[in-house]
Structure 1
Amino acid sequence: MSHHGVGLRAVLRPAAFLTAGVLAVPLLAGCGSDDDVAKPLAAQDIALAARGQVADGGTLKWAVDALPETLNTYQADADTGTTRVAQATLPSMFRMDATGRPVADPAYLESAKVIETEPRQVVLYKLNQQAVWSDGREIGAADFVAQWRALAGKDTAYWTARNAGYDRIEKIERGANDLQVRVTFSRPYADWKSLFSPLYPKDVMGTPDAFNDGARRRLAVSAGPFKVDKVDTAAKDVVLGRNPRWWGRPAKLDHIVLHAVDRDKRVSALADGSADLADLDPADAQRIGLAARDKGGSAPLQGGKTSLSNLRAWARAHGFDADAVAAGKEDLAKSISRYLDQQRALEALDVRKSLEPAYTQLALNGAAGPLTDERVRRAVARALDRKELARLVLTPLGLPAVPVGSHLALSGQPAYADDSGALGAQDTKAAQALLADAGWVPGGPVKDGKKGQKAAGPESDREEKSDGGTDGEYVVGEDGKGDAGGRHLAEEGRHGGAAGAYAPKGTAAPAGAKAAPLAKDGKPLTLRFVLPSGPGSDTLNTVATRISAMLDRLGISTTITKVSDESYFKDHIAAGDFDLALYSWPSSAFPATDARPIYAKPLPAADGSVNVEQNYTRVGTDQVDQLFEQAATTLDEDEATSLIKQADSHIWAAAGSIPLYQRPQLVGARKDLVNAGAFGFQTPVYEDMGFLKKGAKAPASPSRG
């Protein structure tokens, strides 16, 4: 949820002593050391080059998952493509830097600061005097007012995804001149830097019709280095052209084309030149890496005398599907020849890798079944070796395998601290004690609902179902997804990027003795692990299988149920139809605002239902809510950071969600494409992207030393 790369707004984070299920309260104040503030775990990898080395002109073909449904980032169905269009074409008062902090964008702001706190908080924006819309009109207070009124939540004719922050504004006025905008808040708002990023022209925000429909397929007026030339639904393209009225450093590229390419066709698109830049799954990244090392690798076809068995062995080793491997010698040889031709084309590509500003978590549904008991949730959490899971995912990719220690920030951000000590490290004995205290004991007969029968053990409980779909990644709340309550929601299912978890094919679960099954009141302790299915899901399932093995050692049985991509989020995660699940949240520069609905205590709604906002684990406390509110209203940044860390400690203690690892970011790119790739935290600088001049030396990549 990061609009312009700031926060969750575009998408959507020695041991504590546990005795008889009671958490040692003193540790809740925050368990990370302030002296141990870390840097981002991985640097961005964008082939950084000076503008003087970049050729003028050219078209960048950038693969995206789908044609954006809307170009309005404040609508519920905005996605990654929507965000990229906004970043390249619209003003943003603040952008994200390489450490995940908001910084003023000098193209639009000379300064922005709080100038009054009593009797009301007042922020004064001083705009860049050169900043104009593409129709020649100055960017000014009228645009700020129109956006505030559209997003404040008072006019239900506007179909907005969120109103956080805008609902705290009392008034907006022109300052001492046309370049000044005064924003007065009705109550203090710590995250004021999150607002007006991006800023749309009053032409879009001025009326409900323009907001709801006018900006879905066109942006007639823009104010960035690029403008929207056209949205071609037939070709699945959004074409951005250089903005002639841009006052900043001119864009190096003539055009950026965001082109929809299915994930399983990304390598082919990069090989044949129909894409220059694309997010990749690990297997595709590995294939490009092999092409660079092997320089084609034509050995299996030399002399035409290779046996069919050798061809099949080679094909299996290189990831050919079962049908291709089973083909006759002539057909298989042709398939291998085509593969090798493509490998030679892939030699012109790099894999650029970093860590996304997002983390993958294990979600525990606290609304139904055994996990309603916090002792059982804590036991599940303490059964997990999070270091092992991080290594499983990240070590094969050459990325730092460090577990995420916070729900509310990532390493490098000011609010980050490893607060996991509030729950406790992996400890089998402590987990067993918690389960025993909750009444779950090993061995003994259990009923399976049929008279006189015993339930099956852990192995036969394992259920494998698949009805197709695409796994991809599940980053909840990214790219402007919103719900009717005015907060960001997830894209229901899939977003662009790398899959949620990775491991080499054939990775075995670790050895370990299984405990006797646990039972209570004649029922076994069995948890339903819901996962997506389809292409790209193997590695995500590998992590789930490893977690299941860890739970087996306690006597907790898991059934793995695979569902389609289309139904995974909507019908299971959002609907609460799961015990365990894996999905990801993006980090935020504004956790007090953006993370609050993710961890807010579910409350009864007027119609008798329960309003969970974005808290899909249904686990929340009044104390966490209060800490978020305090953090959102203090203007003391140090105090706000302290409050966020305290809130995170309480979230850990509740054990509704367990952060596992920061998500990998793998991007395939032409070697001569610079200032683009795996951006990490930082908002891309679109005007600097381009292709190297002839004779210019390609910059070194941090991921390759």
Structure 2
Amino acid sequence: MTRTNPPAAPLAGNRRGLSAAARAALALAVGAGALAACSSSSGGGAAGSAGVDVAAVSRAGVRDGGTLTWAVDEMPHTLNAFQADADDATSTVTGATLPAMFRLDAHGTPKLNTDYLADAKVTAQEPRQVVTYDLNPKAKWSDGRAIGVDDFTAQWKALGGKNTAFWTARNAGYDRIASISRGSDAHQVKVTFATPYADWRALFTPLYPKSVTGTPDAFNDGVRTRLPVTAGPFAVQGEDAKAGTVTLARSASWWGERAKLDRIVLTAVPQAQRPAQVAAGTLDVAALEPDQLSAVRAAKGVGVRKAPDAAYAQLALNGSTGPLADEKVRHAVARAIDRKKIAASVLKPLGLPDQPLGNHLVLPSQAGYADHSSALGSSGAEQAAALLADAGWQRSAATQGEKAAGPGRTAASGALTVVEPVRAAAKKGKDLTLRFVLPANSPTLDGVGQQIAQMLSAIGIRTEISKVDDDSFFQDHVASGDFDLALYSWPGTAYPATDDTPIFAKPVPAPDGSLAVAQNYSRVGTDQIDQLLARAGSELDASQARSLTNQADARIWAAAGSIPLYQRPEVVALRANVANAGAFGFQTPVYQNIGFRK
């Protein structure tokens, strides 16, 4: 029996600096645009290749007022970004209404957010690490109280992990804090860490008022559907569950540049209905699947923005049971997959960079990206077949005139497709068969899965492809370990040593005899990977931390539990008059600048 952390929803707030536990159910975000922010105009071009493609307009060119209608997958399950059921809609709400100490740029690099901070830096390393936050004196909550040390302290105590009455999805970073104190005045906060923490910039984003984080009742239930105290360019005006909307209204108490829009209305719209609603003007902004582009390209007054998303598609290999428990078989599967061909099939038609992904921890659009896939060794069917043979899986001799495997057969139920190799690899009279789980409603991943099945058939591996409903794909299959192969996505992060550790940590026995896997759903890990990521998370020298992260990634490749395929495309349709929105990739949106062109 294995134990996983709850398959939590993607972390809200600073979505592009996600925590690992609250990122887990992004495995459900299997479509190309599920993480998209918003967009406008047309074409990707150079902007897309740089990691962001937005319809940039100066504030002077954006008219004052108006309501922007923005499609989301569903109503937010909670407005608490640090709970397990936070989702992408939560992220959008908190990003527009709550403080973020750092923003991410197009390359996933944290930048000081001067709306809230005059400065923030490490001011001591001995005897302990101290980070000093100099707050913007103008920063205050909508109830008139200045943002200060009490808010930082309450959030630390809620998220630090010592008080289990707080239902938190993660404690990473907060559990390293030893104390928080007032600095030289009311606008300075000093945070002292018990152990060094390299990713300190990830903390206090979003920052909630002490009225939310001060008591378990307020934290657990008080802000599930309402957020009465805010500190951003927008405030939560209300939710309408029947209409499936959340309305954000311009905040009168905001001290920064005034929001251009009167309102942002987040509206739950099924993916299939979005092209028609954007074309009709019912929606202003909507993330799309790549196969929906043709439905909007010809629509009048509609544009498309495309960029590499802050997420990647990967093939998970369940190493806890069956043939894939043998590392040689996992390596054979990994070497048989032509990642370059797969990446080109998804990205080239969109005009996006189509190189395969060579890193689990850093994406190509991020600073510091490096390809470590060579740790797997030489790729190709010949090398892969030799590895299978070395693992005891032998193929029968070829017959004259033998042809490549065909497209396979479909079971009578229609739920199962079997791809049969012409010559199956077998051991002790049993064919090598892998159960391959795919989400039912992702045309992109369906096509990728079919390619992978054919590539595996070339080395004698039989695949049974099961397409399951999105609602059960993650919970009932991936998280529970009911698969051999599975295709899903993970979000990228600016803080890999913190956020990715639970994804690649070695599973450990729990007190009740189960196997605790955190978010490592491949169930493959090593002590060396754990040690390298732990060292990277404590290394305050950025170049040394990057070196350790690189070493960890090479070891993750060698373990062959997860095979990155490509950085996902972010495809967004929007009305042509929308300004300062688009395919943001890693970049944090500046909500007060979004609006409509004059």
Settle same-fold status: TM greater than 0.5. yes
For the pair 1:389 / 2:333, whether they are aligned, the reply is no
Cα distance, 1:397 vs structure 2 = 1.6
Matches within 5 A, 1:143-542: 143-289=151-297, 291=298, 346-443=299-396, 463=411, 516-533=423-440, 536-542=441-447
In structure 2, C-alpha distance between the alignment counterparts of 1:636 and 1:201, rounded to whole Å:
32
Q: Which deviations, in whole Å up to 9, do the C-alpha atoms of 1:588-644 show, x marking residues without a partner?
A: 111001000000000000111100000000000000000011111111111100000
Q: Which deviations, in whole Å up to 9, do the C-alpha atoms of 1:520-566 show, x marking residues without a partner?
A: 01111111111121xx4333211111111111111111111122221
Kindly tell me: are residues 52 and 465 of structure 1, through their superposed partners in 2, closer, same or farther at Cα, counting changes over 3 Å? farther
Cα distance, 1:459 vs structure 2 = 6.9
| 1:488 paired residue number | none
Cα distance, 1:159 vs structure 2 = 0.6
In structure 1, C-alpha distance between the alignment counterparts of 2:456 and 2:256, rounded to whole Å:
56
Tell me which moved more, 418-427 or 552-561: 418-427
Matches within 5 A, 1:58-73: 58-73=66-81
Q: Name the amino acid aligned to 2:346.
A: V
Cα distance, 1:354 vs structure 2 = 0.9
| 1:682 paired residue number | 587
| 2:401 paired residue number | none
In structure 1, C-alpha distance between the alignment counterparts of 2:66 and 2:385, rounded to whole Å:
62
Kindly tell me: are residues 198 and 371 of structure 1, through their superposed partners in 2, closer, same or farther at Cα, counting changes over 3 Å? same
In structure 2, C-alpha distance between the alignment counterparts of 1:43 and 1:204, rounded to whole Å:
35
In structure 1, C-alpha distance between the alignment counterparts of 2:169 and 2:369, rounded to whole Å:
27
Asked if the contact 2:361–2:492 (Cα under 8 Å) also holds between the matched residues in 1, the reply is: yes
In structure 2, C-alpha distance between the alignment counterparts of 1:114 and 1:626, rounded to whole Å:
24
Kindly tell me: are residues 606 and 414 of structure 1, through their superposed partners in 2, closer, same or farther at Cα, counting changes over 3 Å? same
Kindly tell me: are residues 619 and 463 of structure 1, through their superposed partners in 2, closer, same or farther at Cα, counting changes over 3 Å? farther
Q: Which deviations, in whole Å up to 9, do the C-alpha atoms of 1:310-368 show, x marking residues without a partner?
A: xxxxxxxxxxxxxxxxxxxxxxxxxxxxxxxxxxxx21100111111110001110011
Cα distance, 1:458 vs structure 2 = 8.4
Cα distance, 1:169 vs structure 2 = 0.4
Asked if the contact 1:362–1:660 (Cα under 8 Å) also holds between the matched residues in 2, the reply is: yes
Asked if the contact 1:462–1:560 (Cα under 8 Å) also holds between the matched residues in 2, the reply is: no
Matches within 5 A, 1:135-146: 135-146=143-154
Kindly tell me: are residues 61 and 467 of structure 1, through their superposed partners in 2, closer, same or farther at Cα, counting changes over 3 Å? farther
Kindly tell me: are residues 387 and 465 of structure 1, through their superposed partners in 2, closer, same or farther at Cα, counting changes over 3 Å? farther
In structure 1, C-alpha distance between the alignment counterparts of 2:568 and 2:407, rounded to whole Å:
30
Kindly tell me: are residues 83 and 141 of structure 1, through their superposed partners in 2, closer, same or farther at Cα, counting changes over 3 Å? same
| 2:18 paired residue number | 8
| 1:579 paired residue number | 484
In structure 2, C-alpha distance between the alignment counterparts of 1:5 and 1:522, rounded to whole Å:
50
In structure 1, C-alpha distance between the alignment counterparts of 2:329 and 2:550, rounded to whole Å:
24
For the pair 1:120 / 2:128, whether they are aligned, the reply is yes
In structure 1, C-alpha distance between the alignment counterparts of 2:231 and 2:407, rounded to whole Å:
59
Larger Rg over CA atoms = 1
Asked if the contact 2:48–2:307 (Cα under 8 Å) also holds between the matched residues in 1, the reply is: no
For the pair 1:623 / 2:528, whether they are aligned, the reply is yes
Cα distance, 1:415 vs structure 2 = 4.0
Kindly tell me: are residues 414 and 539 of structure 1, through their superposed partners in 2, closer, same or farther at Cα, counting changes over 3 Å? closer
In structure 2, C-alpha distance between the alignment counterparts of 1:465 and 1:683, rounded to whole Å:
45
| 1:614 paired residue number | 519
SS at match of 1:148: helix
In structure 1, C-alpha distance between the alignment counterparts of 2:141 and 2:381, rounded to whole Å:
61
Q: Name the amino acid aligned to 1:249.
A: E
In structure 1, C-alpha distance between the alignment counterparts of 2:438 and 2:412, rounded to whole Å:
10
Kindly tell me: are residues 288 and 459 of structure 1, through their superposed partners in 2, closer, same or farther at Cα, counting changes over 3 Å? closer
Structure 1 spans left out of the alignment, 5+ residues: 14-38, 292-345, 445-456, 469-508, 694-705
Q: Name the amino acid aligned to 1:595.
A: D
Kindly tell me: are residues 619 and 462 of structure 1, through their superposed partners in 2, closer, same or farther at Cα, counting changes over 3 Å? farther
Cα distance, 1:54 vs structure 2 = 0.4
Question: Cα RMSD over matched residues?
Answer: 2.0
Please point out which of 499, 509, 514 is paired with 1:604: 509
Asked if the contact 2:376–2:557 (Cα under 8 Å) also holds between the matched residues in 1, the reply is: yes
In structure 2, C-alpha distance between the alignment counterparts of 1:125 and 1:248, rounded to whole Å:
19
| 2:30 paired residue number | none
In structure 2, C-alpha distance between the alignment counterparts of 1:40 and 1:58, rounded to whole Å:
28
Q: Which deviations, in whole Å up to 9, do the C-alpha atoms of 1:134-166 show, x marking residues without a partner?
A: 111000000000000000111111111110000
Cα distance, 1:284 vs structure 2 = 2.1
In structure 1, C-alpha distance between the alignment counterparts of 2:580 and 2:406, rounded to whole Å:
51
| 1:543 paired residue number | 448
Higher strand share: 2
Cα distance, 1:45 vs structure 2 = 1.7
Kindly tell me: are residues 274 and 461 of structure 1, through their superposed partners in 2, closer, same or farther at Cα, counting changes over 3 Å? closer
Asked if the contact 2:364–2:567 (Cα under 8 Å) also holds between the matched residues in 1, the reply is: no
| 2:546 paired residue number | 641
Structure 2 spans left out of the alignment, 5+ residues: 1-9, 27-46, 398-404
SS at match of 1:650: helix
In structure 2, C-alpha distance between the alignment counterparts of 1:68 and 1:465, rounded to whole Å:
35
Cα distance, 1:428 vs structure 2 = 2.0
Please point out which of 58, 68, 73 is paired with 1:50: 58
Number of positions where the alignment pairs a residue of Structure 1 with one of Structure 2: 557
Normalising by structure 2, what TM-score? 0.90
In structure 2, C-alpha distance between the alignment counterparts of 1:467 and 1:372, rounded to whole Å:
26
| 2:559 paired residue number | 654
Cα distance, 1:231 vs structure 2 = 1.1
Asked if the contact 1:414–1:641 (Cα under 8 Å) also holds between the matched residues in 2, the reply is: no
Q: Which deviations, in whole Å up to 9, do the C-alpha atoms of 1:385-442 show, x marking residues without a partner?
A: 1110001111122211111110001114244210001113422222122111100100
In structure 2, C-alpha distance between the alignment counterparts of 1:271 and 1:393, rounded to whole Å:
25
In structure 2, C-alpha distance between the alignment counterparts of 1:122 and 1:594, rounded to whole Å:
21
Kindly tell me: are residues 177 and 70 of structure 1, through their superposed partners in 2, closer, same or farther at Cα, counting changes over 3 Å? same
Q: Name the amino acid aligned to 2:351.
A: G
